[in-house]
Amino acid sequence: MIKSILDARTSKKNYILSGDQKYILEVESIAEDIIKDTQNILEKLKEEDHNKVNEIIEAVNSYNNAFINHTKSNGDRSVLEREVVKAGKDVEDKLRNLYRTQNEEMYQRISKI
């Protein structure tokens, strides 16, 4: 999933540089895939980790909305660009946090064996 958000950010940058509409569709598609993946993860996690995954879903939606607003705006693009970048980093941070938590739990379980 971290690779997916990096791919979305690359597509966003490609859109900014080229203005090609295909990159908008790529970002939307990647965001949908990340949400599907996180929903699949929910089924496999303990209840206390569900909030972390739901935060990821919210962050992905926020990123996608910020990007779409960026593509539709004729206003101050630098403000919108900062919002998109911030939302993307937020998603990345939440994904890394979940990954770190899962690794810690795995190592704790292994150490008990």
Tens of pLDDT, residue by residue over 6-38, are 888 888 888 878 888 898 899 889 888 988 888
Place of tokens 């919210």: 58
Tokens at 75, concatenated: 């206003």
Summarize pLDDT for 52-102 with one digit per residue, the tens. Answer: 778 888 888 888 888 887 777 755 666 667 777 788 788 888 888 888 887
Measure the CA–CA gap between 78 and 51, rounded to whole angstroms.
Answer: 32
Q: 25 in helix, strand or coil?
A: helix
26: number of Cβ within 10 Å: 18
Place of tokens 């895939």: 33
Measure the CA–CA gap between 86 and 88, rounded to whole angstroms.
Answer: 5
* Span 2-111 CATH architecture: Up-down Bundle (1.20)
Domain spans of the chain, in order of start:
2-111
